[in-house]
Structure 1
Amino acid sequence: MKLKYQLALWSMACLILFAGFRGQDAKSPVSGSWMHTSGDDTWLLMAADGYCMVTYYDASGKRFFKTFGGFQQVENGKLQLQYRFHSEDKSKTGTRDDFTWNAKGRKAQSDLSGKTGQWTKVGDADSKMTGIWRITKRKEANDLKDIKLAPRRTLKFLTNDRFQWAAINVETGEFSGTGGGTYTFKNGTYTETIGFFSRDSSRVGMKLEFKDRLEGADWVHTGLSSKGDPIYEVWSKTPENER
């Protein structure tokens, strides 16, 4: 009971601390998808709604290196990041780092990769799909079962043309996996092209099609997984405490 009480207090403190990170929108200097490349190495930043995910990978070599993310805001040329997960260092969960972020148009100078370099905006973040989604229901056999909110959760982050999912634990900092790439959503067909995958590099480059629809704040996602298994999932737009 004592541990649960401490975790509850920690979560409440984090939400209070992160309250100032709300209100980021498409006009934010960091909103959208940004890319920094050096040789075969690619850094991808996705940012919207006061949240971000950052991933480092080698697309041509199908190698995943690391990912991290959480609540963000830009003030006075600084990208302030409150970590909700970090694939290499779970102790960073709940802590903050500041990075440089000086944007002009669709270019930015930042040390987000560990050293200062140029980032190029490759996508916007102002569509109906933009935002952070959490899987809230999944069909098992013929039953559609609720997935209750818990510290261990799977989030899916979309800008206008890119996606990334991450399985994380916001209390313990445990990281279970991630994948992402580009997507299109036209005439009820949602298509993903996998650009990186932490669990199975052989799936990089695969293109997956789903028959999807939006129902209010819910996104109904149906089709076959990258393993070929049938799926029926409901993803819902997240309030701040579910991210």
Structure 2
Amino acid sequence: MLSFAQQGALRGVFTATKGDEKIIWLFVDDYCSQTHYKNNEYLSTWGGPYTINGTKLEVKIEYSDAHPDMVGSSKTSQLTMSAHGFQEQDGIVWKKQAAKKQELDGLWRITGRMQDNKMSSIQRGDRKTIKLLVDGYFQWIAINPANKGFYGTGGGHYTFQDGKYKEHILFFSRDNGRVGAELSFDGSLKEGKWHHSGLSSKGDPIHEIWSRDNEK
């Protein structure tokens, strides 16, 4: 059995199935998120910072909409590596998706939003909206780990090329009717900040600034 230290850091997108249920597990910048959904139905999500010790994965849970009582606790899984992914001790087999590295890959946190034609800073606090982007997949999550609050999530596929950021929605906790939507935004990196503008899934104009989550 090879450890992740021998195989390299755990990073990327892993998928599994349970009957008609689909599961996506994203790993990037020492943070992970696991989401369960069906073709047109969101089910649940949970995640948080993770560490690897040999073949053991430990996740400090920052959010779980299905089991909020688990927020603040840790979940440890024994993983068996393979050439195509890994298997958990409960028998679930996870297949690694092809690497599709893009400039925006990483863990981001919203730090600015245009309001009344003025860019307003969003102070770092317990409540936060984060976004994971890795290997062509994205997920945003609005949470408050301090009070076990969960306020919504959405995710799917993304591309970032020639100043255009595009999303294809696979799941959306607030409205299953948004599944399948294609959204296009203007995007640019300025001094390490991601400037994101266009129309939201509701059709409202947005202009946001995102920062790498390990930055102030």
Query: Normalising to structure 1: TM-score of the pair?
Result: 0.82
The alpha-carbon deviation at position 48 of structure 1 amounts to 1.5
Equivalent residue, structure 1, for 2:35: 55
Q: Distance in 2 between matches of 1:73 and 1:133?
A: 19
3-state SS in 1 of match to 2:203: coil
Q: Distance in 2 between matches of 1:137 and 1:146?
A: 4
Do 1:209 and 1:223's aligned partners in 2 also have CA atoms closer than 8 Å? yes
Q: Distance in 1 between matches of 2:69 and 2:192?
A: 33
The alpha-carbon deviation at position 107 of structure 1 amounts to 2.1
Q: How does 1:71-150 map to 2 (within 5 A)?
A: 71-111=49-89, 115-124=90-99, 127-150=102-125
Runs of 5+ in structure 1 lacking a partner? 1-23
3-state SS in 1 of match to 2:165: strand
Equivalent residue, structure 2, for 1:21: none
Q: How does 1:187-206 map to 2 (within 5 A)?
A: 187-206=162-181
Do 1:192 and 1:209's aligned partners in 2 also have CA atoms closer than 8 Å? yes
Q: Distance in 1 between matches of 2:81 and 2:190?
A: 35
Question: Do residues 36 (structure 1) and 27 (structure 2) align?
Answer: no
Equivalent residue, structure 2, for 1:225: 200
| Cα deviation 1:46-81 (Å, max 9, x = unaligned) | 0012110110111x2x11111000111222322111
Do 2:102 and 2:136's aligned partners in 1 also have CA atoms closer than 8 Å? no
Question: Do residues 213 (structure 1) and 188 (structure 2) align?
Answer: yes
Runs of 5+ in structure 2 lacking a partner? none
Q: Cα RMSD over matched residues?
A: 1.8
3-state SS in 2 of match to 1:171: helix
Do 2:101 and 2:136's aligned partners in 1 also have CA atoms closer than 8 Å? no
The structure that is helix-richer by fraction is 1
Do 2:143 and 2:149's aligned partners in 1 also have CA atoms closer than 8 Å? yes
Query: Normalising to structure 2: TM-score of the pair?
Result: 0.92
Q: Distance in 1 between matches of 2:204 and 2:54?
A: 48
| Cα deviation 1:82-138 (Å, max 9, x = unaligned) | 111111222222211111222223221125xxx412111114375431211111111
Equivalent residue, structure 1, for 2:212: 237
Do 1:36 and 1:117's aligned partners in 2 also have CA atoms closer than 8 Å? yes
Question: Do residues 186 (structure 1) and 154 (structure 2) align?
Answer: no
Q: Among the aligned pairs, what percent are the same residue?
A: 36
Do 1:123 and 1:161's aligned partners in 2 also have CA atoms closer than 8 Å? no
Q: Distance in 2 between matches of 1:38 and 1:95?
A: 25
